[in-house]
Amino acid sequence: MIEQYVLDLQEVDETQVAVVGGKAAHLGGLSRIEGIRVPAGFCVTTAAFRRIMAEAPSIDDRLDQLSRLNPDDREAIRTLSAEIRRTIEGIAIPGDLAAAITRALAQLGEQAAYAVRSSATAEDLPTASFAGQQDTYLNVVGLAAILQHVSRCWASLFTERAVTYRLRNGFDHRKVHMAVVVQQMVFPDAAGILFTADPVTGNRKVATVDASFGLGEALVSGLVNPDVFRVRDGEVIAKAVAAKQRAVHALPAGGAQEVALDPQRQEQPALTDAQVVRLVQLGRRIEAHFDRPQDIEWCLVDDDFQIVQSRPITTLYPIPAVRDTENHVYVSVGHQQMMTDPMKPLGVSVWQLTAMAPMHEAGGRLFVDVTRRLASPASRAGLLEMAGRGDPLIRDALETVLDRHDFVPALPDAGPGGPPASGASAPIETDPDIVTELIERSQASIAALRRDIRTKTGPALFDFLLEAFQEHKRVLSDPLSMQAIMAGMEATWWLNDQLREWLGEKNAADTLTLSAPGNVTSEMGLALLDVADVIRPHPEVVAFLQGVEDDGFLDELSKFAGGTEARDAIEAYLDRYGMRCVGEIDITRPRWRERPTTLVPLILDNIKLFEPGAAERRFEQGRQEAQKKAQEVLERLRALPDGEQKADETKRMIDRVRTFIGYREYPKYGIVSRYFVYKQALLEEAERLVQANVLPEKEDIFYLTFQELHDVVRSNEVDDKLIQQRKDAFRSYHALTPPRVLTSDGEAIAGAYRRNDVPTGALIGLPVSAGTIEGRARVILDMAQADLEPGDILVTAHTDPSWTPLFVAITGLVTEVGGLMTHGAVIAREYGLPAVVGVVDATRLIPDGQRIRVHGSDGYVEILP
C-alpha cells in the first residue's frame, strides 16, 4: 500500500482522526458545512510522522523510559522530553516527503504566508481536548521555513506539558501520532473564541463570544482582556467591552508582533451586536454538524467570518437524554447516596431497575426528574422541606431555578405531583418488636433469594433476576419500613426544633442518639475493633498482616501462632459485612469479600490505636451519655410552664428516636446484601461467556447494561467496539464533577449557603453532629490509604457505610457531600463525633496535616494557624 503523506483539507473529515489528527479532521469536517468558510490548506498525515519516528531507533528506548515516569517527576520529564524533541527536529525530511509538501504548497502559492499547526490523534476528542498541548506557528513564509516548522510540530508531541497530560490521563505515548496542518494565513480585523454553550454555567442555550482586535494570539496568550458577549435566542443578552490596549499583527516577512492601539479604538467593541449574532448562528450550524457543543476559533476579515478551529467543549456536564423538548429539573442521586463517582453501565442499569423512582443517567451518574413535583405548589413545599433538611445546597439550587419563574411550568395542586416528599404514612407506635419484625422479613427475603438463584443459569437467570428486582422493590417500599424510617427522622427533627425553642439547646438530638441500638452500620465499625482484639495478642500474625498485598492472605494465616483464630474472626466479619465496599450502590464495585485486603490497614490501625475491649466500652459510654442527657433535658423541661406536658412529649420522642433511628441504616444493608447475590450470579454467567470465547474477561460485563448483557447471554455474541467505547467514556467521566441540580438546558446549579453568622475565612457546611473539636486534618480520598494517629479529623469527599470502620479511630468528620440523615451524619452522631458535611471543595481547601477546628453545632470549619 502506498502511504499518503499529504491530503488537502477538502479531502478529509472527522472520521479520519487516525490519519490526520483531531484538528485537521475537524477542519475538514467544517469545510463541508454549507455557509462555513475555512482557510484553504493541506495536512501532512500521521504516516509521515511514523516514518520520521522510524528514522531514529533511539527514540524507542526513550519512550519506554518516558512511560515509566511518575507524572509528578517534572525534572525527569523535562529532561527526557527535551532529548526526544531535539532528536526529532534533527532528522532530515526524506526527499519524497519534502516533494509532496512542496507540490501541495505550489498549488496554494509558495510565497504566501501560512499557519503551521499540530494535529495529534489524541486531540479535540469528545472526552479529552488536549487543548494547548502541542504547538502552532503563525505567519510562516517560504518552503524552507515551512519544512522546519513541520518538524517542530512533530517534536511538540513531546513538550513537557503534553507528556505530563498523557501520563496523568493514561494515554500511551506510542499510540498518539502527530499530523500537521499547513493553512493559508488569515490577517483578521478581529478574532476570538465562540463557545456554543456557556462554559461556566453549562447552559446550552447561551453562547459566549470572546473578541479582540488583530490575531487571536493576543487573547489566547492573555495579553488583552477580551470583549465578552452572551447570546440567547438570537439576541445579545449581556456584553462587557474591555479596554484593549494592544493587539498582535502579522509581519510581511513572517512572524508576528505586538502593537499599541489608538486610545480612541481601545474602548470600541471588536464586533458589532449584529456581527456577534451572525457568528453565533454559524456556531449553531457547526454544533449541529458535530452533534455537541463546540469551542470555536474564528477570524473576522472584511466583515466575513472564517473558522480556523472547532473542538468539543469537554468540561460540560452531559444532560440526561429525554424524548421531549420540555424543561426539566434534575436532582443528583449520588449526593443523597454518598457516591458522586461515576458508575459503570451495569451498575447504573441495576440501580435503575431496583430503585423506587424513575432515574436518568448522565455522565455515569444518576438523576431524578423533580420537575412535576416543583410545578405543583403542594408537592413543591414538601420537596423543598425535605431537600432543606437533607442538603441545604440542593434546596437553594432548586429555589434558584424557581426564582426564574418561566422555567418550571405551574401545575394546579390536583395535578400529578406524586406522593408527598417524605412518602410518610400515619405515625406508628414506639415498639421495638416492629424493627425486629422488619429485619426478620428482610433476612427471610434475602435467604430465599440465595436459595432460589443457585439453580438459575443462562437466559433463565435473567428472567429470575427481573422477578427478584420486583421483590427487591417490594421490600424497599414496605409501608411499615417507610413508617419506621420516618418515625426516627421526624422524632429527631422534632427534638432539635422543640428543645431549641424551649431550652435554647442546639442539636440536642445528637447526644440523645448516641449508641442507639440496632444500627447495623455503627455495629460494623465496632465489630472490627473486636476483630483487632482477637489478633492483637499474636505478634506473628500482626507482622504478617503488615506485609499483606494479596487477597489470598486468609489461607496463609493458619501457618502462624494464633492465625486460625485470626482467620476465623475475619471470616465471621466478612460473613456479616463482606457485601459492603466503597461506592456500594454500584454493583460492579469490588466487595470486601472479593477484596479482603481492604480491611487489613483498618484492622492494623485498630490494633495500634485501641486497648482491648474498646468496642464494648465505647458503646456503653455513648449509651450512658445519651441516658444522662435525656434525664437532664426532662428535668429542665419540668421546671418550665406546662413542664410536665412538655417533658412527657419529649420523653415519647426520645423513646421513638432510640427505637427507630438505628433501623434507618438497615434497608441499605438489605440492598447491598441482595446486590452481592445478584453480582455473584452474573459473574458466574460472565465466566461461562469467557470459557465460550465470547468475552476476553469477566469484568467486561460491567460495561454493558443489564438488558445488553441479557442479549449477549441469549445470542453468545458481543459488540467489542461498544465495550471499548464504554470503557473510554467511563474513564472520561472521572474528570466531570456532577452538579447537585441540573436543568435540561445543561445548567449546573451548585446552590449556596445564605449565612453570615460564621467567622471570616471559615468554610461553611451543614452542622450534623454537635460538639467542637480541634485536631490534625487527614485528607483521605481512598480508604485503603488511611494511616491515622490519635486525634485525627477525617476530611473526605463523601462517606458511605463502608467508611464506618474508620470512624472509630477519628475525633471529627468533614465531608464535601452529605446531609442531616446521610450515612456520615448518622454514624458521627452515634459515635459522638463533631461533624460538618456539605463543605464545598473541603478536600482541596484543607491541606492534609493542617490543624483545623470543626464546629459541629454551628456548621463551619476553621483553618488554624
pLDDT along the chain (865 residues), means of 10: 85 93 94 94 95 85 84 88 91 93 92 91 56 76 93 92 84 87 91 94 96 76 81 95 75 70 78 97 96 95 94 92 94 93 98 95 98 93 92 95 89 52 61 95 96 97 98 94 94 95 93 93 96 98 95 95 97 98 96 96 95 96 96 96 96 96 94 98 97 97 98 96 96 94 96 92 95 96 86 95 93 94 89 95 96 96 95
The reported pLDDT for the residue numbered 610 is 95
Is beta strand 360-362 parallel, antiparallel or unpaired with respect to 851-855?
unpaired
Of 250, 198, 242, which is closest to residue 222 (Cα–Cα)? 242
The reported pLDDT for the residue numbered 683 is 98
The reported pLDDT for the residue numbered 420 is 41
Specify whether the CB–CB gap between 830 and 749 falls below 8 A. no
Strand order across the 763-764 sheet:
763-764, 860-863, 851-855, 772-779, 793-796, 812-815, 835-837, 766-769
The reported pLDDT for the residue numbered 263 is 74
- 710 flagged as catalytic: no
CA-CA-CA-CA dihedral for 15, 21, 24, 29, to nearest 10: 10
3-state secondary structure string, 120-184? ECCCCCCCCCCCCCCCEEEEEECHHHHHHHHHHHHHHHHCHHHHHHHHHHCCCHHHCCEEEEEEE
Secondary structure of residue 337 in the 3-state scheme? helix
| CA 834 from centroid of its chain's CA atoms | 27
The reported pLDDT for the residue numbered 422 is 42
The reported pLDDT for the residue numbered 224 is 72
Catalytic residue among 149, 289, 335, 823: 823
Residue type, 188: P
Tell me the HSE value of 182 on the side-chain side, using a 13 A CA sphere.
34
The reported pLDDT for the residue numbered 225 is 80
Q: Is residue 753 packed enough to be buried (19+ CB in 10 Å), middle (13-18) or exposed (0-12)?
A: middle
Q: Please, which residues have CB within 8 angstroms of residue 657's CB and are 6 or more apart in sequence?
A: 488, 491, 492, 495, 509, 512, 513, 516
The reported pLDDT for the residue numbered 223 is 66
The reported pLDDT for the residue numbered 795 is 97
Cα-based angle 336, 842, 753 (whole degrees, multiple of 5): 65
Overall residue count recorded for the chain in this entry: 865
Which residue's C-alpha cell is 513538550? Answer: 159
Specify whether the CB–CB gap between 180 and 116 falls below 8 A. yes
Gap between the Cα atoms of 182 and 192, Å rounded: 20
Secondary structure of residue 764 in the 3-state scheme? strand
Rg, C-alpha atoms of the chain: 31
How many secondary structure helices (H) and strands (E) does the chain include?
A: 32, 26
The reported pLDDT for the residue numbered 423 is 42
Cα-based angle 174, 179, 184 (whole degrees, multiple of 5): 165
Q: To which H or E segment does residue 281 belong?
A: helix 273-290
Q: Could you tell me the CA-to-CA distances from 671 to 239, 355, 587, 657, 675 in Å, in that order?
A: 52, 10, 10, 23, 6
Buried/exposed 575-591: b ≥16 CB within 10 Å, e otherwise: eebbbbbbbbbbbbbeb
